[in-house]
Amino acid sequence: MNRPLALAGGICASALALAVTTTTPTLAVETADDGTSASAYKVLVVGKTLGFRHSHIDETTNAVMQLGQEHGFTVDVWDPPIGRSPGQPGLTMATTPFTSAEDLAQYETILFASPVDGTNNQDPARPRTLDDTELAALQGYMRDGGGFVGLHAATDAMHAVPWYGKLTGGGARFRNHPQQQTATMRVESPTHPSTEMLPKEWIRFDEWYNFTANPREDVHVLLTLDESTYSGGSMGADHPISWCHNFEGGRSWYEGAGHVDSSYSDPVFLDHLLGGIEWTAEVVEGGGDCVTFPEVNALNEDLGQGSNRAVKLSGDVADHLAAAEQAHNEGRHQAAVQVLTRARGKSHGLQDPELTAKIGDLVEWQQGLIGF
């Protein structure tokens, strides 16, 4: 891994139709000795299956490999044949790549392509996608700034591991789903690199998950599912279906759609997925970078210790953040920007660049919602 944004190599030229903007920087292209574009980074696709095998895993793998060829990354696959699962013997690595955080550091992001493991009964003794050693490697990798992409049934694995539920997002796990049908997803964060290409109302045929919990308090929601447009939803008016968050030093992105094989030949879905891959790999930035108010509040609270001045400044920032969050919840995004601008000014007194930058992310996010 190469953190922050500076990568060991650049993106291949075919991927660099990027304009210079204030939110998405253009990256330089590194060329190999023969004059061709060098590979920028590596992605690991995990399809290892101990439970129900999703047919889209093969399609997902092939699609991600094709995206890599077009956008400057290479792909390793871990999907061994196990029991009734055929895996992908022609592609899979011979042994687990989850040996240590240091070994995983070769990957800028790791994609879990519905690796169901049948642990819904919460039995800690049941074999799971990652054993204790492998899980420790993933934890260390994320804490060192790694990236995680979860697709569809990535929320239907390691049910007895609370940390994994937090990684995938807010403890939301797969609960059940109705029959496959057409439904409408609504964009909530239109300027994120994984949503900026989407229509405001995205109508798709897919398998729509109900989750064990609403993750909104812990994640940055990208898309919600409109339960009035299909039958069988059980989460009510607020049904997040895609989200992202900054997690323990790394980045996590999840999309609950993607069950149907045709997703992986759909250009819009693939652009959405590519945005998730590139954002978690820190190849692209923008849209507030999945910031949340709780994330910034926690950072500010940690700084409000010690001197009376620090306590006072932190308290002022907290008041502004609360007012901005209320304005956001009420749809008054211009007002939220104004209050956050004052919060950012106050934050300079705490002399913590991360806090100031995170409040700047909140401003960028709210600016993208004005008039949306």
| CATH number of the domain bearing residue 162 | 3.40.50.880
306 — pLDDT class (breaks 50, 70, 90) = confident
Q: What pTM was computed for the model?
A: 0.90
Dihedral angle sign, alpha carbons of residues 85, 78, 194, 159: positive
DSSP string of 273-296?
Answer: HHHHHHHHTTS---TTTT--HHHH
Quick one: angle between helices 267-280 and 56-71, nearest 10? 70
Average pLDDT on 199-209 reads: 98
Residues 106 and 215 in one domain: yes
Residues 186 and 304 in one domain: no
In the predicted model, is pLDDT for residue 127 greater than 70? yes
Residues 252 and 331 in one domain: no
Domain boundary, last residue among 235, 254, 280: 280
In the predicted model, is pLDDT for residue 371 greater than 80? yes
CA distances in angstroms from 173 to 41, 161, 166, 211, 212, listed in the order given: 30, 11, 10, 5, 5
Residue with tokens 């990256």: 27
Q: What is the tally of structural domains in the chain?
A: 2
* Confidence (pLDDT) at 1: 75
Residues 313 and 244 in one domain: no
In angstroms, the CA 261 to CA 318 distance is 46
Domain-located, residue 8: no
Residues 269 and 323 in one domain: no
Contact indicator for 10, 30 with CB cutoff of 8 Å: yes
Domain-located, residue 268: yes
In the predicted model, is pLDDT for residue 27 greater than 50? no
Q: 221 forms bridges with which residues in the sheet?
A: 243
In the predicted model, is pLDDT for residue 35 greater than 60? no
List all residues 6 or more positions away from 312 whose beta carbon is below 8 Å from its beta carbon. none
Containing domain of residue 343, as a range? Answer: 293-369
- Within 13 Å of residue 39, how many CA atoms lie on the same side as its CB? 13
Average pLDDT on 340-345 reads: 97
**17-21, 128-132, 174-178, 317-321: lowest mean pLDDT where?**
17-21
Residues 344 and 245 in one domain: no
Domain-located, residue 1: no
* Confidence (pLDDT) at 295: 97
39 — pLDDT class (breaks 50, 70, 90) = low
* Confidence (pLDDT) at 19: 29
pLDDT averaged over the chain?
91
Domain-located, residue 6: no
Residues 161 and 20 in one domain: yes
Residues 193 and 56 in one domain: yes
In the predicted model, is pLDDT for residue 246 greater than 90? yes
Dihedral angle sign, alpha carbons of residues 233, 129, 48, 113: positive
Residues 104 and 200 in one domain: yes
Domain-located, residue 71: yes
pLDDT digits (tens, 9 = 90+) for 289-304: 999 999 999 999 999 8
Domain-located, residue 17: yes
pLDDT digits (tens, 9 = 90+) for 154-181: 999 999 999 999 999 999 999 999 999 9
Average pLDDT on 145-156 reads: 98
Of all residues in the chain, the percent with pLDDT exceeding 90 is 87
Contact indicator for 340, 320 with CB cutoff of 8 Å: yes
For residue 302, give both structure tokens.
């940690």
Residues 59 and 113 in one domain: yes
Domain boundary, last residue among 223, 258, 280: 280
CA distances in angstroms from 332 to 195, 224, 250, 291, 366, listed in the order given: 21, 19, 30, 18, 9
Domain-located, residue 245: yes
List all residues 6 or more positions away from 302 whose beta carbon is below 8 Å from its beta carbon. none
Contact indicator for 226, 183 with CB cutoff of 8 Å: yes
Domain-located, residue 3: no
Residues 134 and 248 in one domain: yes
Domain boundary, last residue among 280, 305, 324: 280
Contact indicator for 270, 264 with CB cutoff of 8 Å: yes
* Confidence (pLDDT) at 32: 36
List all residues 6 or more positions away from 153 whose beta carbon is below 8 Å from its beta carbon. 52, 54, 114, 115, 116, 174, 259
Residues 158 and 242 in one domain: yes
